Amino acid sequence: MTVLVLGAGLIGGLTAHLLAERGDRVVLADVRPGTAPAGVERWVCDVTHASALQDLMQTHRIRDVVHTAAWLSTAIRQDPLKGIAVNIMGTAHVLECARLLGVRRVVLASSTTVTYTGFASHGPAPIEEDMPMRLISDRPASIYAACKLYGENLAHLYHDLYGVDTVSLRYAAVLGDLNNITSVPGRLLHTLVQAGRNAQAVALDDPFLVWGGREEFVDARDCARANVCALDAAKPVQRVYHIADGQWHSLADFVAAVRCVYPHLQVSWPPNLYTGFAGFPHQRPAPSDHRKAQSELGFACAHALHDSVAHWAARAH
């Protein structure tokens, strides 16, 4: 029996590596051909093609699935219908194939952005997974967040109606490979690392790269470990979990972490920032509550912000 990792991006590749390293047979599938970690089979498969996905899962006798294949916000804004097809129908196909083939467990990559529009009415206590949100005024503020929330709900329904064992993981803002930038936190870190490396002053004037208050981040390596923990968890009762370390950081904190690597980094940004991270309208009122991930998945982050920045900066081309 085999674990299928869908999406050969950074988190998918790291997850496949961890699984192979511990002795699992792993198939890593992506819409594009490419390389795979040692001991991992790489196949081409588009999650929007249900029959091809089912054939792949049947051929390799897939036992578990880790679904990380997705379009991020920038790509979705450029082609919303394709992004919706990948993020919503792709997830529906994964869940339906799991139902038809009797897959043991499906782990879905979700995002902390599903909670962002509820920040305005949330108090200072840690943000719970089951936070109260108004269906209209607290609706998702991006197509990406809407897709992720829909995926979580669809996973719940496949569990409730059909018994498909699903776990959804809400990653905080992910820090990772700076050589293939697809995310807002990746763009920010890349901008600062390049300025530090080239001894150039940088002005952060993109509203997506600055924020007021504080935000939480997670290392891609921790996301991969969380995926493995979610596969192994004996009783994931809550089924949706925050993947974060309980710490949150101002823009000044983030810049200071990069200055630990590049002490002469010079950065400026607009004063009096009132928006939240990545252009969302509200500032984060508290870090996410990650206790259920610890108690039900046996997961805790291993990499703090300074460690993540130093690790990925050292690997940037």
Domains (ranges, CATH) in the chain?
2-176+217-246+288-301 (3.40.50.720)
Share of the chain above pLDDT 70, in %: 100
Question: DSSP for 15-76?
Answer: HHHHHHHTT--EEEEESS-----TTEEEEE--TT-HHHHHHHHHHTTEEEEEE-----HHHH
d(CA 45, CA 53): 6
User: 1 pLDDT exceeds 80?
Assistant: no
Q: What is the mean pLDDT of residues 136-162?
A: 97
Sign of CA pseudo-dihedral 34, 38, 43, 47:
negative
| pLDDT tens sequence across 45-60 | 999 999 999 999 999 9
| pLDDT tens sequence across 87-98 | 999 999 999 999
User: 214 pLDDT exceeds 90?
Assistant: yes
The count of C-alpha atoms lying within 13 angstroms of the C-alpha of 162, restricted to the half-sphere facing its C-beta, is 19
Contacts (Cβ under 8 Å, ≥6 apart) of 4: 26, 27, 29, 56, 57, 60, 62, 64, 65, 66
pLDDT at 180: 81
pLDDT at 179: 86
* Verdict on whether the full-model pTM lies above 0.95: yes
